[in-house]
Amino acid sequence: MKRRSFLSAALAAAPLAAQPGRTHPNIVFIMADDLGIGDLGCYGQKKIATPNIDRLAREGTLFTQAYSGATVCAPSRGSLMTGKHLGHATIRGNREPEVPIQPGEVTIAEVCKMAGYKTGMFGKWGIGGPANLGRPNAQGFDEWFGYPTQLHAHMYYPTHLWHNETEVFFPKNFNGERGEYAPDIIFPKALDFIDRHKAESFFLYLPFTYPHTNNELGRQKGDGMEVPDYGSYQDKPWPAPEKGFAAMVERLDTAVGQVLAKLTEHHLDRDTLVIVTSDNGAHQEGGHTVDFFDSNGIYRGWKRDLYEGGIHVPFLARWPGHVPAGRKSEQVFAFWDMLPTIAELTGAPIPEGIDGISMANAFLGRPQQNHEYLYWEFHERGFDQAVRLGQWKGVRRSANQDAIELYDLAADPPETRDAAAAHPDVVRRIAAIMSSARTDSSEFPVRKQTRR
Q: Could you tell me the strand order of the sheet in which 405-408 lies? A: 374-378, 384-389, 392-396, 405-408
Residue 450 forms part of a structural domain: no
Does residue 37 carry a pLDDT above 70? yes
Q: Is residue 444 part of a domain?
A: no
Whole-angstrom distance, CA of residue 425 vs CA of residue 394: 12
Q: What is the mean pLDDT of residues 398-418?
A: 94
Q: Are residues 301 and 384 in the same domain?
A: no
Separation of alpha carbons 100 and 292, rounded Å: 35
Answer yes or no: is pLDDT of 11 > 90.
Answer: no
- CATH number, domain containing residue 417: 3.30.1120.10
CA 386 to chain centre: 18
- The answer on 425 and 340 residing in a single domain is no
Range of the domain at 411: 375-436
Residue 120 burial by Cβ neighbours in a 10 Å radius (0-12, 13-18, 19+): buried
Domain for residue 446, yes or no?
no
Q: Which residues pair with 119 in a beta bridge?
A: 203
Mean pLDDT on 49-72: 98
- For residues 227 and 266, state if they share a domain: yes
Asked if pLDDT for residue 6 goes beyond 70, the answer is no
Angle, helix 240-265 to helix 182-196, in steps of 10 degrees: 10
Contact 272, 263 (CB under 8 A): yes
Check residue 401 and give its pLDDT.
81
What local confidence, expressed as pLDDT, does residue 92 receive? 97
Q: Mark whether 302 and 401 lie in a shared domain.
A: no
**Are residue 144 and residue 52 in the same domain, yes or no?**
yes
Task: Let me know: does 286 contact 215? Beta carbons within 8 Å.
Answer: yes
Number of domains in the chain: 2
pLDDT over 90 for what percent of the chain?
Answer: 90
User: If you average pLDDT over residues 245-260, what whole number do you get?
Assistant: 98
- Tell whether the torsion through CA atoms of 295, 254, 246 and 226 is positive or negative: positive
Give pLDDT tens digits for 327-365: 999 999 999 999 999 999 999 999 999 999 999 999 999
As a whole number of angstroms, the distance between CA 186 and CA 180 comes to: 11
Q: Are residues 330 and 398 in the same domain?
A: no
**Which residue among 371, 391, 423 closes a domain?**
371
303 and 250 assigned to the same domain = yes
Q: Tell me: do 403 and 418 sit in the same domain.
A: yes
User: Residues 408, 425: one domain?
Assistant: yes
Q: What is the pLDDT of residues 112-159, one digit of tens each?
A: 999 999 999 999 999 998 888 899 999 999 999 999 999 999 999 999
Q: 356-390 b/e with 16+ CB inside 10 Å = b?
A: bbbbbebbeeeebeebebbbbbbbeeebbbbbbbe
Residue 443 belongs to some domain of the structure: no
Upper half-sphere CA count for residue 396 (Cβ side, 13 Å): 28
Q: Using the predicted structure, report yes or no on whether residue 186 has a pLDDT greater than 90.
A: yes
State how far the alpha carbon of 295 is from the alpha carbons of 98, 155, 242, 283, in Å: 28, 23, 11, 8
pLDDT at residue number 275: 98
Indicate the residue type of 76.
S
Domain shared by 157 and 10, yes or no: yes
Q: How far apart are the C-alpha atoms of 118 and 137, rounded to whole Å?
A: 12
Across 181-191, average pLDDT:
98
Residue 268 lies in a domain: yes
Distance CA 239, CA 241 (A): 6
| Closest by Cα among 245, 354, 343 to 292 | 245
Residue ending a domain, among 371, 396, 418, is 371
- Provide the pLDDT for residue 255: 98
**Residue 165 confidence (pLDDT) above 90:** yes
Let me know if residue 308 belongs to a domain: yes
| Domain-located, residue 299 | yes
CATH of the domain at 204: 3.40.720.10
Note the pLDDT of residue 22.
Answer: 54
Does the structure show a pLDDT above 50 at 166?
A: yes
User: Is 260 in the same domain as 114?
Assistant: yes
Last residue of a domain, one of 354, 371, 388: 371
Residue percentage of the chain with pLDDT more than 70? 94
pLDDT digits (tens, 9 = 90+) for 290-325: 999 999 999 999 999 999 999 999 999 999 999 999
Q: Let me know whether 41 and 76 are in one domain.
A: yes
Cross-strand pairs, 245: none
In this predicted structure, the answer to whether residue 451 has a pLDDT above a threshold of 70 is no
